[in-house]
Amino acid sequence: MTTTDPISGVFAALADPTRRAILARLARGEATVNELAAPFPISAQAISKHLNVLEKAGLIARTREAQWRRCRIEPAPLRDVASWVAQYRLLWEERYDTLGTYLDDLQKEQP
């Protein structure tokens, strides 16, 4: 990870379709690693790599028992991303409202 802030870690984790599919599955309830791996035609090792990325981003948590490691989704980072997107939208709404008024004024000045 070259990123330092939590939000970009979450975005990076969400950038991959397999990881999004894993999260979507966990949104329905806890699952073991094997259950999570089942729908994907990739190795358990590859799944484990994805789970590591998700865990690092704080998007999932895993129980410690080695054989039956269960995964569950952690909602907080997703909530942060959702509120970040809402803030971003607000910022651009204000910016573009100001631009709209400015453009109107400019065109009134012109003959």
Partner 1 sequence: MNTIAISTPAPTELVMSRTFDAPRALVWAAHTEAEHLRHWWGRGNPLDVSIDFRVGGTWRFVETADGTQHPFRGEFREISAPETFTWTFEYEPMAGQVAVETFVFTEEAGRTTVTSTTHFDSQAERDAMMGSGMEQGANQSYAALDAYLVKIS
Nearest distance from residue 34's CB to partner 1, in Å?
A: 18
Nearest distance from residue 21's CB to partner 1, in Å?
A: 4
**Does residue 20 belong to the site contacting partner 1 (CB under 8 A)?**
yes
DSSP output for 14-58: HTSHHHHHHHHHHHT--EEHHHHHTT-SS-HHHHHHHHHHHHHTT
Nearest distance from residue 20's CB to partner 1, in Å?
A: 4
Stretch that binds partner 1, among 29-37, 62-70, 78-86 (CB under 8 A): 78-86
